[in-house]
Amino acid sequence: MSTTEAPSLAGLFFLPLRSGGAPGAPTDALNLTIYTPKREVTGHSLVTQATNPPLHVASHVTGTLIYETVIGPGSKVRIDLNGWPEIHWPPQAGIGPVIPQNYKAILLLEPNFASGVIRYEYRTDLSGPWHVVEQPVHAA
């Protein structure tokens, strides 16, 4: 491999991503672990916004990695994510409650995983409305 070629991202690797939009818009900080042999993705999402009261939606996310060919230049890497609130359940406290989903996202990334677009949905309470955001995303 020459020094000008980017290394191939294969196997298990860490992928920190940050979304950004207009000033004052919500942002999503994703810390993902990608396991390419089984195309599995797990990690953490934190949606924040500088408002009063501040927005803070933390989710444990899981998903799948999909390699896509799209019309136009090149191919994309797609990651579909679903997330649930983090629950700190006491040890030996039983099965626990059923917790509804609070986050879902679709990422379309360049093949080098460095940049792309994210469309994510979140809700601030367990039965509230879904808020939809679409923003550029880049590796942190």
Of 101, 121, 113, 107, nearest in space to 47 by CA: 121
Pairwise CA distance, residues 66 & 64, whole Å: 6
Average pLDDT, the chain: 88
How many independent structural domains does the chain possess?
1
Look at the block and give the residue holding tokens 């390419």.
36
Identify the DSSP state of 132. Answer: E
pLDDT, tens digit, for every residue of 20-33?
888 889 999 999 99
Query: Residue 6: inside a domain, yes or no?
Result: no
Residue 84 — pLDDT band, cuts 50, 70, 90?
Answer: very high
Beta partners for residue 3, in sequence order:
none
Query: What is the rounded average pLDDT of the residues 107-129?
Result: 93
pLDDT for 9: 63
- Give the tens place of pLDDT for each residue, 59-83: 999 999 998 876 777 788 999 999 9
pTM score, two decimals? Answer: 0.85
Give the CATH number for residue 126: 2.40.128
Domain that holds residue 132: 12-89+96-139
Output the pLDDT for position 49. Answer: 92
Average confidence (pLDDT) over 6-35: 87
Helix, strand, coil percent content, the chain, rounded in steps of 5: 0, 55, 45
Phi first, then psi: what are they for 72, rounded to 5°? 110, -165
